[in-house]
């Protein structure tokens, strides 16, 4: 059911993932990226499960690049 929903997302979507995520491996990020049209996957090195808290400046800069 959720997979079908992803294909219906029409707006640009940013997926930010930590390469060292101990909860959900970074390799899993490729699936939603391929399922969501107009999405971009950014994987942050030296980062775990919470990129916006672990690497806030890097996450912010990625968001700014996408917005611009």
Helix (H) or strand (E) holding 55: none
| Percent of residues, the chain, with pLDDT higher than 70 | 91
Instruction: Please give the Cα distance from 40 to 56 (Å, whole number).
Output: 18
Instruction: Please give the Cα distance from 50 to 29 (Å, whole number).
Output: 14
Asked if 17 and 51 count as a contact pair (C-beta separation under 8 A), the reply is yes
Asked if 28 and 18 count as a contact pair (C-beta separation under 8 A), the reply is no
Active site residue 52: no
**pLDDT tens digits, 21-53:** 999 998 898 889 999 988 999 999 999 999 999
Selecting among 49, 56, 60, 65, the annotated active-site residue is: 49
For the segment 47-68, the average pLDDT, to the nearest whole number, is 95
- Give the per-residue pLDDT at 6: 67
* Claim: this prediction has a pTM higher than 0.85: no
Token readout for 68 is 């611009």
């Amino acid at each position: 059911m959720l997979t079908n929903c992803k294909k219906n997302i029409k707006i640009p979507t940013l997926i930010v993932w930590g390469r060292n995520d101990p909860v959900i491996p970074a390799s899993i990020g490729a699936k939603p990226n391929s399922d969501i049209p107009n999405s971009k996957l950014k994987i942050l090195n030296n980062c775990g499960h919470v990129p916006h808290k672990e690497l806030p400046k890097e996450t912010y800069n990625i968001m700014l690049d996408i917005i611009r």
